[in-house]
């Protein structure tokens, strides 16, 4: 059985990661994904793409796509960051009281799934990244040397930090989030994250990502099982 998977992602980094890493892998499992970015805002006469600006906008995006393609062989998924999650997200206030980040993100995904059922589509696998895409880089920060030459000392400090905490447990404070930690050591990453980030994660490899990131692994297993 073949399944088509429509994927909505937060930004260009996630889009590039999906196309570079997940599309080839899932296609081998008879799951054929395509990816759309959330539309954030209009600037002048052109559409500015990307942006996890509000839950309402994400739900509208999902609703439009679900109405456009309601065939039985179609499923939907998301890749949004827990970091800076919009304040209008369902059950957010209640879930914030959950101390364990894995239990918190699972509760948020359940609330997301339940709310989307009101759109009339049950073929939906929500995914919220703990705590943002760059957590995947902390599986093996040494691979940053593929993209950022002559940053040996900075990369060594990131490697040392990665040994203290599981990647998905790195906090989501304004200065402590995974991307903020990388940018503090390698400022150039800020300007190249959408191109360099997916390359680095690809070099780390899916097997290692899944071993070190259990929440990510659970999502991927669900997608692999769709057929």
| Ordered per-residue pLDDT tens for the chain, 227 residues | 899 999 999 999 999 999 999 999 999 999 999 999 986 544 333 444 556 789 999 999 999 999 999 999 999 999 999 998 999 999 999 999 999 999 999 999 999 999 999 888 889 999 999 999 999 999 999 999 999 999 999 999 999 999 999 999 997 687 889 999 999 999 999 999 999 999 999 999 999 999 999 999 999 999 999 99
Quick one: tokens of 57?
């906008």
CA distance 81 to 13: 11
Q: What is the CATH code of the structural domain delimited by 3-131+210-224?
A: 3.40.50
CA distance 36 to 78: 10
Residue 31: Cβ-neighbour burial (10 angstroms; 0-12, 13-18, 19+) = buried
Could you write out the three-class secondary structure of 80-114? Answer: EECCCCCCCCCCHHHHCCCCCHHHHHHHHHHHHHH
Nearest to 205 by CA among 8, 126, 213: 213
CA distance 82 to 96: 11
Residue 80 contacts residue 10 (beta carbons within 8 Å): yes
Return the ∠ at Cα 13 (arms to 191 and 8), rounded to 5°: 145
Using a cut of 0.85, tell me whether the model's pTM lies above it: yes
**What residue ranges do the domains of the chain occupy?**
3-131+210-224, 133-204
CA distance 133 to 179: 8
């Amino acid at each position: 059985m073949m399944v088509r998977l429509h994927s909505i992602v937060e930004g260009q980094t996630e889009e590039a990661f999906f196309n570079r890493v997940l599309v080839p892998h899932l296609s081998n499992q008879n799951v054929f994904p395509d990816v759309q970015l959330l539309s954030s805002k209009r600037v002048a006469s052109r559409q500015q793409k990307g942006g996890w600006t509000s839950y309402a906008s994400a739900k509208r995006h999902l609703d439009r796509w679900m109405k456009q393609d309601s065939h039985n062989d179609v499923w939907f998924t998301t890749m949004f960051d827990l970091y800076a999650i919009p304040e209008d997200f369902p059950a957010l206030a209640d879930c914030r009281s959950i101390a364990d980040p894995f239990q918190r993100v699972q509760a948020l995904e359940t609330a997301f799934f339940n709310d989307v059922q009101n759109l009339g589509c049950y073929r939906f696998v929500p995914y919220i990244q703990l705590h943002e895409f760059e957590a995947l880089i902390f599986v093996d920060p040494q691979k940053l040397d593929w993209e950022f030459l002559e940053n040996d000392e900075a990369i060594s400090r990131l490697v040392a930090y990665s040994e203290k905490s599981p990647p998905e447990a790195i906090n989501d404070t304004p200065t402590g989030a995974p991307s903020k930690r990388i940018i503090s050591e390698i400022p150039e990453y800020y300007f190249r994250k959408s191109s360099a980030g997916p390359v680095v994660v690809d070099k780390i490899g899916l097997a290692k990502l899944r071993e070190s990131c259990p929440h990510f692994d659970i999502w991927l297993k669900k997608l692999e099982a769709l057929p």
